[in-house]
Chain A
């Protein structure tokens, strides 16, 4: 038996079910990129396209920020794993690490607290 109030209930339930598909996740306006070089930490803003060059002695690391992505564009290190890693997106977990130049690039808040387990 169908009654008048049922339409309201059905539409409310349908809204409740369909809600998550229409809700967009609000993104933080501008997140920060954490660049750690030789145990010193710098922060770069996303949103602005820019290139940072980190020099220590004869080594240099070029870090390029484009939109909400970051990559190591060029590096003087031997294997260039950091360059091969490519673009790191804001949503990606993990970071770009250049061991010889001691540079770590990561998004703030994404790869923090990265200890999985501690054994004694």
Chain B
């Protein structure tokens, strides 16, 4: 499949909308383990990182948090700030890892790192807000352990997307 686009804004718009929709639809997916979300929106971010479209990936990752926050009625509230910080850290970790170890790392491993860092950022901020200090303890390992499952799921989805032979072609102006 070929995705032709005139400007980056088009891709950012379309894929931010898809990512936000996925994020909102996830509310209806019941996972067997509480507090665990699949995080399919992250698959799109990871897909663009692996296509080396870093700017689009970054924009999608931030815009989906804003749109998701707006439609769930949590815009600019504490959960929104946690979510935004998680998205920023998760993008940075995936971007840096992919940028350095491009040839040696698969989408699943990248996605696991992204998921773990997303939840760690949220946990850190939560603890700093409400407790004033954050400790590296059992809570951290439980949260990190639980985020591995959605990490594997999202990574597998990204791997499937990558095999679909989707080409991003920029149209000549």
Binding site for B on A (CB under 8 A): 1-6, 9-10, 13, 16-21, 23
Contacts and interface: CB of A to CB of B under 8 A. Distances in A.
Contacts of A1: 106-107, 159
Interface string B132-173: 000011101100110010000000000100000000000000
B38 interface: no
What 9 A-B pairs have minimum CB-CB distances, sorted nearest first?
A5-B104, A9-B109, A6-B109, A5-B105, A17-B141, A3-B106, A17-B144, A20-B141, A17-B145
Given A1-B106, A6-B109, A13 B141 contact: no
Interface of B: 97, 101, 103-109, 112-113, 116, 136-138, 140-141, 144-145, 148, 159
B138 to A, nearest CB: 5
A70 to B, nearest CB: 27
Contacts of A21: 138, 141
A5 B159 contact: no
Nearest to B108: A6
A19 B136 contact: yes
Nearest to B135: A20
Give the secondary structure class of A's interface. helix
Given A4-B104, A21-B141, A23-B136, 19 more contacts: A1-B159, A3-B105, A3-B109, A5-B103, A5-B104, A6-B105, A9-B97, A9-B112, A10-B109, A13-B113, A16-B116, A16-B141, A17-B141, A17-B145, A17-B148, A18-B141, A19-B141, A20-B136, A20-B138
A13 B152 CA distance: 13
A1 B108 CA distance: 8
Which of A10, A17, A23 has most B Cβ within 10 Å?
Answer: A17
A6 B112 CA distance: 10
Nearest to B101: A5
B137 to A, nearest CB: 5
Contacts of B101: 5
21 contacts: A1-B107, A3-B106, A3-B109, A5-B101, A5-B104, A5-B109, A6-B104, A6-B108, A6-B109, A9-B97, A9-B105, A9-B109, A10-B109, A13-B144, A16-B116, A16-B144, A17-B141, A17-B145, A17-B148, A19-B136, A20-B138
Nearest to A18: B141
